[in-house]
Amino acid sequence: MKKSALVSIALVALAAWVGYTYGTRSGSHAPPTAAGSTTDTLASAKHTAGSAAALLKPGVSTGQVIVVKPGESIQDAVRKAQPGDTVQVMPGNYSETVYIDKDNIALVGVIHGGDWPTLDGQGKRNDAVLYSGNGIRVENLKITNYKGNAIMGQAGNNFVVRHNWIVNSGVYGIFPEFAQNGLIEYNTLTGIEDAAIYVGMSDNIHVAHNEVHGNVAGIESENSRHVIIEHNLAYDNAGGILTFITPGLPIKTAFDVIIRNNFVVANNHKNFGAPGSIVSGVPSGTGIIVMAADDVIIENNVIRDNKNAGIIVADHKSFANITPDPESDPSPDRVQVLPNLFADNGYEPIKDIQALMLAGLTRQGPDLVAVGSGSGSCVTNRDAIKWLGVSTWTACQRTSTSDVVTYLLDQPAPPRVLSAQDRGKLVYSSVCAGCHAYNVRMIGPPTQILQAMYAGNPQGIADYIAKPVRKREDFPPMPSQAHLSPDLRLAVAQYMLTVK
Amino acid sequence: MRSVSGPLCLFAYTLLACAPVQASAWRLSEQCPASFDKRDSRCWLRSTYQQYGSLTGAGVGGLKTGLPPFRDGFTPQQIDLGRYLFFDPVMSANGKLACASCHVPGKGFTDHRVHSIGMGGHEVRRNAPSLWNVGFLKRFFWDGRAHSLEEQVQGPLYNATEMGNRPESLVKTLNGLPAYLTLFAQAFPPTGNAIGGDIAAAQVYTALAAFESSLISLNSRYDFYAQGVADALTPHELEGMNVFRSFVARCAECHTPPLFTNQQIAVIGMPEPAGMPFDAGAGAATDAPMLRGGFKIPSLRNAALTAPYGHSGQFGTLRETVAFYTGGRGHAVPKGENLHLHWHIWEPKLSGVELDRLVDFIGALTDESFLPAIPASLPSGLPPPIESTLGERS
């Protein structure tokens, strides 16, 4: 956790980013040099905003800028790009799935005179951007008409998804999964059939300054820990902001989620979620839902005009479509509802809530309602709001979350870098040892014999395995190992000579 | 595949395994199998995936993600002993059926049957799953009912319709075989003051678990791609990979890399062959009625080798299996069954071309470079099952 001294520093940094963002948006007549300007701004942010800057460090592109113009393929540019490079997409239309399976690539659109680079899935492509690398940045793209996701990350750490405009693009708009340390900010998303921004099975994620409307769910943090959702505008969705433990997933917990300073307004859209999906069970008209997640703090949001309820805190049993999972705890525990602005919520509650109202002898729909099991939760100044099911909640001790600036990491989540020697050993054990045993003939000759042949000559082995030639009548040919990089081939060779 | 005649000795872990069967001549390998490193006399897994991490250690994620927790640390002798036991029909009540009869190495450790055939021609209710990479699993059987390899193995050994044995008679048989007494003493050397004793059932389970965990398949062309070899996959396979991991098909949400399973139970509504009764799977346990029809998500590594598919063996080809997912949510659920289908099962409307590409991609997960050697002769003196007859209808 960051201490309060950092608050003002972070604000300065935010101001810098806002400035940068508007600078791009205004479409000056200067030649488009998005990568350059980004670098400058981020460099200055680095001095001020502790952890977020660390996140962005890999994005401070040191490499080449590869420019893509309409008619060219973005994927071709990604294929050429080396870690550290920026793929710069010029305004115009593109229709492809861009996948990034390498580290530290920035995919940055150039917006010029109000013209965006637009990825159009034409209703037939699955995803616009798929990445699995670490340190990926996706910025300034308009994405529309994809069937799956606009931007999906699978186990890519240290990502930045910023300043994208996503319209009617499938099931999830922005969806990092299995990620650690990532920033999602200044995006606008609409027409998404599940969650517009969906943080799935991730850690240390910051979701800020996004606009989400006309989706089934606005922002959802699921089976994720250490997430801050702040300064977003969520309106006209079926549900505004959700934080869940969804059962049946390989990662079983959700905790330390802060939802603060958001506008969660008029989320009364019809729920158009796919039948059977979990969000299809979200009652239209709900501002915030906490399902089974623990240690969630809800503070300083404007929660207004959500017809079913302002905030619902529920366990698994109280939610439709949920199959229990013995490995995940079904109860939301230690939820803290600090001061928020509530107005006009709960004027058209669903039947289940009406039943609770009847039992509680009230005719007013709730700002805050808790259903099912759970313990240790609290609410500040309960008397000021309309509530149901929280009579056993205590008054909160905590007065604000300003001590937690961000859950982003101080340093990027580290990739595990092995020494050349260790990598050589890994490759030897996991590849070569399948055919070469130390002193026994397997598919290939024993390593002991090869050690004698190549004593002091690892380069000889490295060269042979790149292009093996037939040497022995009574052995099958050895398959080429040319797919290993030259230094890895040398490292394997060196290791092979030391095996005992 | 490999024959068991003379030249097979070349592939054996130990040359001595080719020696004539005399109790004193039996020696177990002192070497760890491929992909294992020997440290402190024990075998520890080595895989290039060990250089990566994984969120909360779960072993699921994207391309460069660490593996789930793994069972290793067995001795080379235990692994090699497990290999003999695995291939030895002496383990079954009638001396005719080995583990390898239904888990045939050359058939991706399956038997290519819809349902396996156990002792006396009994048809087992389900399809035999592959054993590649089982050392990474935390639940076993299609319904996930066993929680360790040692617990699992007692299923087939003692099930009347499979190997039909009983613990007492299994142990009695083995203790009556001098070669096994020699080998068990090598794999489980007496400790402290204890003098070598009888073979215990638990030692049988340990040895089989040791051998099964040595079946590593992590060097497919997909793996080369994942480790950064950009052209290891063909354009068709790359297209297939992108369909596989997209959120339209959602395959990767359940068949999650690097193991290609997230090890959860999911209700997806795959059908039984015509005329077979509904299989409640994980829902048969009374405390999990919502999991009715739920099965463990299988790994897809080496799936191209293991037709037919699904717990029921209902689908003859990979193409038919993947087409199941685009047939409509619940389309194969029998009338009157009200299953709680998994939320990822929906109507992705995959095109025929996309289905073909998915099959291409699954094919790129094939790697049998570390196939273990089939013993040329067995400690029981029984004829070793010959690969060409393994898994054939009797």
Domains along chain A with CATH numbers:
6-388 (2.160.20), 420-498 (1.10.760.10)
Distance between CA atoms of B13 and A268, rounded to whole angstroms? 68
Locate the chain B residue with the closest alpha carbon to A204: B55
What pLDDT, on a 0 to 100 scale, did the predictor assign at position A41?
30
Contact B18, B11 (CB under 8 A): no
What pLDDT, on a 0 to 100 scale, did the predictor assign at position A465?
95
Is B394 within the bounds of a domain?
Answer: no
The string of pLDDT tens digits covering residues B239-280 is: 999 999 999 999 999 999 999 999 999 999 999 998 899 999
Same structural domain, B301 and B376 = no
**For range A381-395, the mean pLDDT:** 95
Percent of chain B with pLDDT over 70: 90
Same structural domain, B303 and B251 = yes
What pLDDT, on a 0 to 100 scale, did the predictor assign at position A432?
87
Q: A8-17, B119-128, B197-206, B245-254: which has the minimum mean pLDDT?
A: A8-17
Please say if the pLDDT value at position A21 is more than 50. Answer: no
What pLDDT, on a 0 to 100 scale, did the predictor assign at position A34?
37
Average pLDDT value over all residues in chain A: 87
| Both tokens assigned to A388 | 């149901």
Cβ separation B46–A132 shorter than 8 A: no
Locate the chain A residue with the closest alpha carbon to B268: A276
What pLDDT, on a 0 to 100 scale, did the predictor assign at position A360?
84
What pLDDT, on a 0 to 100 scale, did the predictor assign at position A433?
80
Cβ separation A155–B341 shorter than 8 A: no
Distance between CA atoms of B250 and A175, rounded to whole angstroms? 13
What pLDDT, on a 0 to 100 scale, did the predictor assign at position A42?
29
Percent of chain B with pLDDT over 90: 76
Percent of chain A with pLDDT over 70: 87
| Both tokens assigned to B169 | 């008679």
Q: Over A372-406, what HEC string results?
A: CCCCCCEECCHHHCCEECCCCCECCCCCCCCCCCC
Cβ separation B242–A127 shorter than 8 A: yes
Same structural domain, B118 and B39 = yes
Report the residue of A125, A147, A149, A154 to disrupt the B interface, i.e. the one with the largest count of B CBs within 10 Å: A154
Cβ separation B46–A321 shorter than 8 A: no
Is B113 within the bounds of a domain?
Answer: yes
Angle ∠(A398,A403,A404) on CA atoms, nearest 5: 105
Same structural domain, B202 and B225 = no
CA-to-CA dists, residue A195 to A173, A198, A218, A273, A478, angstroms: 7, 6, 6, 9, 51
The string of pLDDT tens digits covering residues B201-238 is: 999 999 999 999 999 999 999 998 998 888 889 999 99
Same structural domain, B94 and B227 = no
What pLDDT, on a 0 to 100 scale, did the predictor assign at position B3?
32
Please say if the pLDDT value at position A318 is more than 70. Answer: yes
Write the residue in B31, B247, B288 that is nearest to A127 by C-beta: B247
Q: How many CB pairs under 8 A join A and B?
A: 162
What pLDDT, on a 0 to 100 scale, did the predictor assign at position B196?
58
What pLDDT, on a 0 to 100 scale, did the predictor assign at position A6?
34
Contacts of A276 in chain B (CB under 8 A): 329, 341, 343, 345-346
The string of pLDDT tens digits covering residues B313-332 is: 999 999 999 999 999 999 99
Does the CB of A433 have a partner CB in chain B at under 8 Å?
yes
Is B17 within the bounds of a domain?
Answer: yes
**For range A430-457, the mean pLDDT:** 87
**For range A302-319, the mean pLDDT:** 95
Is B2 within the bounds of a domain?
Answer: no
Average pLDDT value over all residues in chain B: 89
Identify residue A195 by its one-letter amino acid code: A
**What confidence category does residue A500 fall into, taking pLDDT thresholds of 50, 70 and 90?**
confident
Contacts of A130 in chain B (CB under 8 A): 242, 245-246
Same structural domain, B238 and B205 = no
ipTM of the complex: 0.88
Cβ separation B61–A248 shorter than 8 A: no
Buried b (16+ CB within 10 A) or exposed e, B287-325: ebebbbbbbbbbbbbbbbbbbbbbbbbbbeebebbbbbb
Please say if the pLDDT value at position B197 is more than 80. Answer: no
Please say if the pLDDT value at position A14 is more than 60. Answer: no
CA distance A374 to chain B (A): 21
Does the CB of A477 have a partner CB in chain B at under 8 Å?
no
Q: A100-104, A256-260, A436-440: which has the minimum mean pLDDT?
A: A436-440
**For range A434-447, the mean pLDDT:** 83
Does the CB of A99 have a partner CB in chain B at under 8 Å?
yes
Does the CB of A114 have a partner CB in chain B at under 8 Å?
no
Cβ separation B228–A102 shorter than 8 A: yes
Element housing A256 (H / E): strand A255-260
What pLDDT, on a 0 to 100 scale, did the predictor assign at position B37?
85
What pLDDT, on a 0 to 100 scale, did the predictor assign at position A484?
82
Nearest to A164 by CA among A155, A183, A151: A151
| Both tokens assigned to B45 | 């897994």
**For range A475-491, the mean pLDDT:** 86
Helices B201-213, B76-87: crossing angle, 10 deg rounding: 100
The string of pLDDT tens digits covering residues A140-183 is: 999 999 999 999 999 999 999 999 999 999 899 999 999 999 99
Same structural domain, B20 and B160 = yes
Locate the chain A residue with the closest alpha carbon to B258: A155
What pLDDT, on a 0 to 100 scale, did the predictor assign at position A172?
95
Same structural domain, B69 and B192 = yes
Cβ separation A430–B342 shorter than 8 A: no
Please say if the pLDDT value at position B114 is more than 90. Answer: yes
Is B1 within the bounds of a domain?
Answer: no
Same structural domain, B131 and B229 = no
| Count: domains in chain B | 2
Locate the chain A residue with the closest alpha carbon to B33: A434
Cβ separation B246–A248 shorter than 8 A: no
Half-sphere exposure of B321 (CA within 13 A, CB side): 21
Contacts of B70 in chain A (CB under 8 A): none
Same structural domain, B239 and B334 = yes
What pLDDT, on a 0 to 100 scale, did the predictor assign at position A5?
38
Report the residue of A227, A417, A429 to disrupt the B interface, i.e. the one with the largest count of B CBs within 10 Å: A429
CA distance A331 to chain B (A): 18
Contacts of B36 in chain A (CB under 8 A): 429, 433
Contacts of A431 in chain B (CB under 8 A): 219
Report the residue of A82, A149, A178 to disrupt the B interface, i.e. the one with the largest count of B CBs within 10 Å: A178
Contacts of A153 in chain B (CB under 8 A): 62
What pLDDT, on a 0 to 100 scale, did the predictor assign at position B386?
62
Does the CB of A213 have a partner CB in chain B at under 8 Å?
no
Cβ separation A250–B60 shorter than 8 A: yes
Cβ separation B47–A277 shorter than 8 A: no
Cβ separation A175–B247 shorter than 8 A: yes
Whole-prediction pTM: 0.89
Buried b (16+ CB within 10 A) or exposed e, B159-170: eebbbbbeeeeb
What pLDDT, on a 0 to 100 scale, did the predictor assign at position B16?
38
Note down the domain range covering B281. Answer: 221-363
Is B255 within the bounds of a domain?
Answer: yes
Cβ separation B248–A147 shorter than 8 A: yes
What pLDDT, on a 0 to 100 scale, did the predictor assign at position A11?
35
Distance between CA atoms of B4 and B11, rounded to whole angstroms? 10
Does the CB of A203 have a partner CB in chain B at under 8 Å?
yes
- Neighbouring residues of B44: CB distance < 8 A, sequence distance ≥ 6: B32, B36, B37, B38, B72, B73
Contacts of B243 in chain A (CB under 8 A): 126
Please say if the pLDDT value at position A58 is more than 50. Answer: no
The string of pLDDT tens digits covering residues B52-63 is: 889 988 999 999
What pLDDT, on a 0 to 100 scale, did the predictor assign at position A12?
35
Same structural domain, B184 and B297 = no
Q: A38-42, A192-196, A220-224: which has the minimum mean pLDDT?
A: A38-42
The CATH number of whichever domain residue B113 belongs to comes to 1.10.760.10
**What confidence category does residue A436 fall into, taking pLDDT thresholds of 50, 70 and 90?**
confident
Cβ separation B35–A202 shorter than 8 A: no
What pLDDT, on a 0 to 100 scale, did the predictor assign at position A103?
93
Same structural domain, B256 and B274 = yes
Q: Does the bond joining B258 to the residue before it have cis omega, within 30 degrees of 0?
A: yes
Write the residue in A132, A154, A275 that is nearest to B329 by C-beta: A275
Cβ separation B218–A323 shorter than 8 A: no
